[in-house]
Amino acid sequence: MNNVALLQGRLDGYHCSGVDEEYNALREILQEVILAGLARTGFFAKAAFHGGTQLRIFEGVRRFSEDLDFALVAPDSAFALSPYLEGVATELASMGVEMEVRDKSKADSVVKKGFLKNDSLVRILQLRHVGRKGSPGQPPKILIKMEVDTDPPMGATYSAAQLHFPFPVSIRNFDRASAFAGKLHALLCRTYVKGRDWFDLIWYVSAGVKINHALLSSAIDQQGPWAGEGIATNDGWVKARLLETIRRINWDEARHDILPFVPDADRPSIDLWTPDFFVSLVERLAP
């Protein structure tokens, strides 16, 4: 099977029902190729994958994600992203995918950033929705942002997961408890509303995932409204802070944020998002 046929088969397997789903599927296919390329560069000897895209790809959560988030296993102020991006670009080219790859990291920044753009998939694949007559506008470029925290909070623990597309590789992930701690840090410390975080909270609670409090305590001490206070979190502290957050956020904004990232069939469930819904959810947090 040639590379275009491999990519086409992957896309066809999504059975997309609309423009948003197909665009999200195209981005996710590129995310998987990028992860596989990173693995071949040796990136995961130094870093671990976490965040919404990790939850989507390796846990099957029913929402798409935009960015690729990583954290080094050990702090390294000299870490450079460029060599890994070059390896990814080479891997993508071998798959017949040309991407604009840029290292946008600042020398003094703790978080290193890379941006990858592509519009070739919409030209080489047979699409049912994106770019077709009657669909809104011209197909946009697919943008994927990578971020690597070079001075991460301490306490994360890891697991290995196998990625099978486009070829088998092993990816170092945050384990479930550590990934949950990272999500809770985002939920409690973001200065804006992100519905995708609340969608992920539903999955973590429903799956009965426990919290890595060592990592969460370190994270909130490093960044956010409790920075420098030396708080040792526990389940009661987390529940109390989540309930405070639930009562003050704008749920219309949260619903608006998540809708483009869920399959069309799942969108009606977002209508259930009210303060009472999430209060009952938080009460179910695993002890």
- The DSSP annotation for 256-272 comes to HHHGGGS-GGGGGGGGG
Which region among 55-69, 110-124, 181-195 has the lowest average model confidence (pLDDT)? 110-124
User: Please, where in the chain does CATH 3.10.450.620 lie?
Assistant: 1-174
| pLDDT value at residue 141 | 83
Note whether 87 and 40 are within 8 A (CB): yes
242 pLDDT above the threshold of 50: yes
Q: pTM of whole model > 0.85?
A: yes
Checking if the pLDDT of 132 tops 80, the result is: no
31/65 Cα distance (integer angstroms):
10
Q: Is 50 exceeded by the pLDDT of residue 241?
A: yes
- What is the model's pLDDT at position 51? 97
Once rounded to an integer, what is the mean pLDDT over residues 164-186? 97
- β-pair type (158-163, 169-174): antiparallel
Of 101-110, 200-209, 214-223, least confident by mean pLDDT is 101-110
Task: Examine the pLDDT at 257 and tell me if it is beyond 90.
Answer: yes
CATH number of 1-174: 3.10.450.620
Band (pLDDT 50/70/90 cuts) for residue 134 is very low
Closest residue by Cα to residue 235 from 213, 209, 260, 268: 213
Helices vs. strands in the chain: H and E counts, helices first: 11, 7
Q: Which helix (H) or strand (E) segment is 159 a member of? A: strand 158-163
Asked whether the beta carbons of 218 and 227 are under 8 A apart, the reply is: no
Paired sense of beta strands 100-103 and 111-118, if any: antiparallel
Span 269-279, average pLDDT: 96
pLDDT digits (tens, 9 = 90+) for 42-53: 999 999 999 999
Average pLDDT over residues 271-280: 96
Summary mean pLDDT of the chain: 93
